[in-house]
Structure 1
Amino acid sequence: MALRQDILAELAEIAPGSTLASARDTRDAATLHAQGSYDALFGAENADFPADERFIVAAKVAKWHNANDLAAHYASFGLADPTSARLSPALDFARLLTFSPVKATPDALKSLASAGWNKQSIVTLAQLIAFVSFQSRLLVGLRLLNGKPVAASESTVAAGVWHTAPRTQSGKVAPVAFTQQELGWEPWIAAKPLAEFTPDEQAILAKFGHTDSDYFRLLGRNLPVLEQRTLTDKGIFYTPGGLPRAERELAATVASKINGCIYCASVHARKTSQLSKDDNAVEALLAVPPGKTLSEGQSARWGAEIESAAALSVTPPALTAAHLATLDAQGLDTLQQLDLIQSAAFFAWANRLMLTLGEPYLP
């Protein structure tokens, strides 16, 4: 099986030397490691579960996002039997993560375990689903930036629901509203003990500051994917020029509001406030109730960015050329729009892992 060199450039029909290609070259780390994540998840060396199972899950997730060309790409490699006792609960899990990750509970993970999925393969499955959710959205954004058509969506763009149970599964006090407070997070399946990583693997965790995190040591059950994912994150959020960092963090917060991820929103709303010095605007965003418009009361520039990030974050994505025209009117050039799209799209990935592998608590 031969994977493509740059699947997103191919499917978005990006011509070498174009303005969009130059913007992606400026964000070469994000481009390189998004492709690296694809290679780590779908390459033959990933033996956590068979390739034909990986491709059928990816094809289904892409199809649910209306990313038909991406779905066809994955389907072209050959598909497993979706009705098998092992694969059926995996596809149920994929549907849950795609459409309503906030509704996940430990029972979904128990169903996978009962069907023969071990801890490492569950983590890889969750990463694969969440990655294709990111990839599908990024493809929509790239095609629009490139002036290419995308599938129409009837998704409602509004703030999502969130967890309101006062206790976590283990009995800790849980947050019941969006907040900028620092939160803890506990996994529903065991994080890999640090002593079980080799010295080289421990060095990778340490390089990214992941050593003491249950979340990252859980994802470290597939360390090559975690490493590529972390480098993608850094390439999107920590690179100079383009969209101000505060506005990239704003996009992450908006995606988290759409998906109901209180933990991710707490981290990235706090960063937005720190960098923008506009705590009131961030608090207003966090306070938007389910079903309401996230951009209400915001400045024209933030409003345009919020509306675009929210439209990209629903399933299927509802971003249109009209959203990009509004960003144009606010003075965002191609690189800045790419930064906004990549930031929102990445949190389709991050939220789906946080919401379905564990839950936040109040420390």
Structure 2
Amino acid sequence: MDLKILIINDSKNTNNLYSLMKENHLIVDQTLSINILGSVNKLNPDIIIINFNSYEKLSVIKELKDMGFDQNSIVVVTKIDEQESIEKIYSEGISLFLREPFSIFEIKAIISNMKVLKRTGKRLKDEITKRSKIEWKFRKFVSFSVFGMLLIDKDLNISLWNKGAENIFGYKKSEVIGKNFLKFIPLGENKILDFAYQKDRFFEIESYNKKGERINLEISFTIEIFEDNSNIAIFIKDISEHKKYLKLQKESERQREKLKELEAFNATIITLNHNLKQPICSIVSNIQLALNNKNRNKGNDKFLKRIDSSSKTICSIVDKIGNIKNLKYIDYAGRYKMIDLNEDIDEHN
């Protein structure tokens, strides 16, 4: 890393310094004090050496500072008898001096130290730029995140309230900054601290938005250090819609179970209708045959007619039982094994 050096002389001064630096292969140029602006713009030097012995030194230094040149990169050549002048120059923020007579090694030492400072400065500048970009991206992420992001201080007062929090609660940033967090999240102070020390854990709570509507929240706390102060960072997700979905899903499951019960009930009705009606109809048919038989014992007619009437009543009841089922589910009957009531009756007999 070679540094460019500009020597500012006055018309009375010699160019011995310039010659010395040229002989040692340093990148150097020189100019008169009246041509500072043009020379600085042309060379864009890393170091400027003011090499003349007059009261104009201070005015040249001020001119360089007004141009925005780094005062830490200005070297002033002085003599032993310039103590008062040195004090004034030092008060302007200049700290690098070459006292005559000097050697090339003193110049090289200054240049070497300046290289270290330049490299360090560049690294710091790059680091600051990098951090600034990261901070900008982070702030952008915080600002536009759909999640609510809050920051509260040790007194639980809100110092950060992003767009996500505005959308969740309905309060603008200007309405909440400086206000107590507990006004928006119904938790005790001790509970917040307990949550904060349980990192990477989410808790479900209920709160209310600006409209007074109940909202379900998933919330996480963590303790962070910002500007040497302990703060609690809070991340909030609105899970109200998810909760509604779970509720609908649960209701749907309940309806499915109810439907299964209804299907089983309908199948039972169909089974009863099938197993009861067929034998009863057979009884009615046989009674009719008996009543129509010319060789029958007519003394039994009244009993047969009673049986016939009762059988028809039973048939009517069985028909009504069959009508209890919903016709919509009649096709489910085939999925269930029919119950043979005759077998059950025989077993009990």
What is the TM-score of this pair, normalised by structure 1? 0.19
Higher-strand-fraction structure: 2
TM-score of the superposition, structure 2-length normalised? 0.20
RCO higher in structure (CA 8 A, sep ≥6): 1
